[in-house]
Each structure stands twice: as structure tokens, then as C-alpha cells.
Amino acid sequence: MKTSITDKPAFILRQGTAPLLISMPHVGTYVPAGIAARMTDEARHVPDTDWHLETLYDFADELGASVLVATHSRYVVDLNRPPDGSSLYPGQSVTGLCPVDTFDDTPVYLPGQEPDDQEVQARREAVWRPYHEALDRELTRIRAKHGVAALWDAHSIRSVLPRFFEGKLPDLNLGTGKGSSCDDRVVQAVLKVAKTAEQGGYTAVLNGRFTGGYITRNYGRPAQNIHAIQLEMTQSSYMQEALPFDYLPATAAGIQPYVRGMVEAMLGELRPV
């Protein structure tokens, strides 16, 4: 790892016993001091973090899942973007591999302090690459042991973000690369659980505004016995969406059983081709 970029490992990995890896690429909040000094006051609060997912998914160990957790903020480098920085949603507003603007379309950096191409490459090598190498290794290990592997890419986002979508986002947004990253049998089992959440007052959609980011699309290979699903869920369903971004246990208790149920449904449908 390049000490000129960061002094912290790119990820934390807990290996489990089940054929499941839960990836959390946007939970990291760490920004190396040399980068933070060039950022705006707003950006130093890292508001676009997928807050508290480790708490929301605290059932992962009980299910025997492996868990891969990012340490660095997406403002350092976005682990769910292609390494070349190409857009996942052509024609729509998106943030880049090393974002220079927030979800509210405000600057991440002070004037003239944005990273140049050389720095972007260095961040990619220091943080992006190690995370993806660990993800690939763990999926390979799981598949070798079980004959099949499931990847659940866990995300959350503010429920109202005019830059990206109109109105309020559905609470549970499942993405499978429009059907390319996961066998339909598995998807339908997960979707069935998501739809039961509507009885609890939540909303759910498959391949709506979010169809899965780079991780889901790149690693989901059903024909090779690796099934990937992304869940992008509204932060209003479990936490405060504004500073101080607190976890709300009573609110989270309503949706957490559905999140667990979807993950269990994925596990229950796994079998090698």
C-alpha cells in the first residue's frame, strides 16, 4: 500500500462458513489527513457514507456469512465504480471513481485541490485494488468450498436526492444488472421477501433506478456459480439522514427482519449448476 496515499488497510474481512459474502464498499469513513486538508468543510463530514450497515447487518455472523468492509470513504476512491472511471448509468448524473462533487452537487475539494490523473491512479492502487483482490479471493474460496457462492452487495442512500432521482426512492432497491448477475430463481425468492415488506409499509423494486453497481455487475456470474445481488436501501428506514447521522434502533427494528429475510432467501436457493 502506498504510504503517500494512506496509512490504513483498505478493508476488514471476516471469513465465514456459509456460501455467502456480504460486501460493504461504501461504509468507510476514513480520509487520510493529506486528502482531508484539501476538502471542504461539508465533505469532511463524509455525508454520502452508507452509514451503520455493519449494525443493520449484525445477523451476518449468525448466518455464517463472510463480511468485507471498506475502511476508506468513497471520497478517497469509490470501490463500486469501474477502475477506468466509466459511467455505470450513461446519460444520468453520477459521481466518479474519485468524486469531486457530493450527492448534493457541491464541491468535495477546495478550489484547485482536486486530484489529478496521477493521484487518481495512486488511490486506485492503494485502496481500490486491494479491496477488489480480497473480494475476488473470497468469492473464489467460497465457491471452491461450496460449489457455489453468493455475493450480497450492501448499500444505503438518502431517500430524497433530486440530483439522481425524482421524488422519494423506494425503500428496498434490488439490482441484478437487469438480470445478468444472478439466477432468476434466486432473484424471485429474494424479491418475494422484499414484496412482503410492503405489508409493513415499505416499498420495493427490482432493477429500478439502481440496477447494481460495478461490484454486482462484474462479479455476478451465474453460469460460473457466483450469484450477485445489490441492495440499495433508504437511510430513512433505519437512521437519521442528516447530521449527526445517528442509527435509530427502534426504526431499524422495523426493516431489519426483511433485510435478513432477503439474505436468507438468497442462501436458501443456492445450488451449483
Supply the CATH number for residue 86's domain: 3.40.630.40
d(CA 200, CA 197): 5
Task: Answer whether residue 93 shows pLDDT above 60.
Answer: no
> What mean pLDDT do residues 221-248 have?
97
Q: What is the pLDDT of residue 1?
A: 33
Q: Is residue 101, in this structure, part of any structural domain at all? A: yes
Q: Which residues contact 183 (CB under 8 A, 6 or more apart)?
A: 222, 227, 269
Percent of the chain exceeding pLDDT 90 equals 90
Domain count, the chain: 1
Q: Is residue 6, in this structure, part of any structural domain at all? A: no
User: CA end-to-end span of the chain, whole Å?
Assistant: 38
CB 142 within 8 A of CB 272: no
Is the torsion defined by CA of 172, 176, 182, 185 positive or negative? positive
Q: Is residue 156, in this structure, part of any structural domain at all? A: yes
**Domain span holding position 88:** 11-268
Is the torsion defined by CA of 181, 187, 191, 193 positive or negative? negative
Task: Answer whether residue 64 shows pLDDT above 80.
Answer: yes
Task: Answer whether residue 89 shows pLDDT above 70.
Answer: no
Q: Is residue 273, in this structure, part of any structural domain at all? A: no
Q: What is the pLDDT of residue 91?
A: 62
Q: Is residue 211, in this structure, part of any structural domain at all? A: yes
CB 21 within 8 A of CB 152: yes
Q: What is the pLDDT of residue 87?
A: 62
* DSSP character at residue 49: S
> What mean pLDDT do residues 233-253 have?
97
Q: Is residue 2, in this structure, part of any structural domain at all? A: no
Which three three-digit cell numbers place residue 257? 427482519
d(CA 162, CA 18): 39
Q: Is residue 204, in this structure, part of any structural domain at all? A: yes
Q: What is the pLDDT of residue 206?
A: 97
